[in-house]
Amino acid sequence: MVALDWGTSSLRGWLMDAEGHVRGEYAAPHGIMALPEGGFAAAYAQARSGLGADPALPALACGMVGSTSGWRDVPYVACPADPARLVEGLGARDGDVLPIVPGVRLDGPTPDVMRGEETQIMGALSQHPQWGASSIMIMPGTHSKWVRIEGGQIESFRTFMTGELYAVLMKHSILGRPSQGGETSDSVRDDAFRRGVLQAAASESGLAPILFSARSLFVTGVLPGAATGDYLSGMVLGDEIRAGMMAIGGTAPGADTIGRVVIVGEDALSRRYARAFDLLGLPAPRMVGNTAAAGLFAIACQAGLVRAVVSAKGLS
């Protein structure tokens, strides 16, 4: 099959055999906001061609390609969501070229949405069925997701704008100014990150009353300007962990929940999260890389789009 993770800024593809092994990879900057001439159809044809995919091979995509700004608007599926619900919501009617995995919606007074992460979650669960019983999956990124998995389902989740919040505060607020110019040692920067993580994780009233300390520590001469960004980075991450544990783990950091944390994502960012866990004295989270391809394969099997030689684990 042809598996596509089609986001806002990039398009990644995998050619997969009937056992779910990756036989070829493809990457293009053809996110839904950066399409080539010919639009979605052209980008899709180039991906198939780049993967050397036989025209008869079925395909499945996930990500922002299924949003209102995508190729086709595929409505969100409500929580709790499992592979069967995702298959029901597949955006593929007769004549559609490319079926698209629906995103997932959390209803309530402060609703939330994901699109693409649901597929990575199903990939992680197909590779590690034991995580399906009860776990907390963290998917670091510009908009991090914290996801509660219960009984193989996405029970609830929360988006944390940690990466974007850090970026806009550094670039556009008074907090970013002292970090421009000036240098300091790696150990001073690492200490500042540590300090930020610990302070924010300990702040019961949240980030709001201590955010300005990223400036006060500089103004009072405690922190060199060049380390204030590391302190801020530690604070927003420490706050995410504190709040994520309360909102998704249903408990303060340190309780039993923490033993069931899985970080799904790219290496560098995941390691930064793991480092924060370590600084907080919490058990090391389990870690797994990008599982989009595995998720697309698992959902395609469930949908009968492909007939797997070895049935995808944890999905039947």
The residues of the shown chain that bind a copy of itself, judged by CB under 8 A, are: 68, 76, 105, 109-113, 143, 146, 158-162, 164-165, 168-169, 171-175, 195, 199, 203-213, 215-217, 219-220, 222, 239-240, 242-244, 246-248
Closer CB to a copy of itself, 139 or 248, in the complex: 248
The CA distance from 287 to 265, in Å, is: 8
Closest separation between CB of residue 143 and a copy of itself, Å?
A: 7
Closer CB to a copy of itself, 167 or 284, in the complex: 167
Closer CB to a copy of itself, 255 or 310, in the complex: 255
Closer CB to a copy of itself, 74 or 298, in the complex: 74
Closest separation between CB of residue 106 and a copy of itself, Å?
A: 8
Closest separation between CB of residue 33 and a copy of itself, Å?
A: 12
Closer CB to a copy of itself, 64 or 296, in the complex: 64
Non-local (6+) Cβ contacts of 290 within 8 A are 120, 264, 265, 266
Closest separation between CB of residue 220 and a copy of itself, Å?
A: 5
Closest separation between CB of residue 195 and a copy of itself, Å?
A: 8
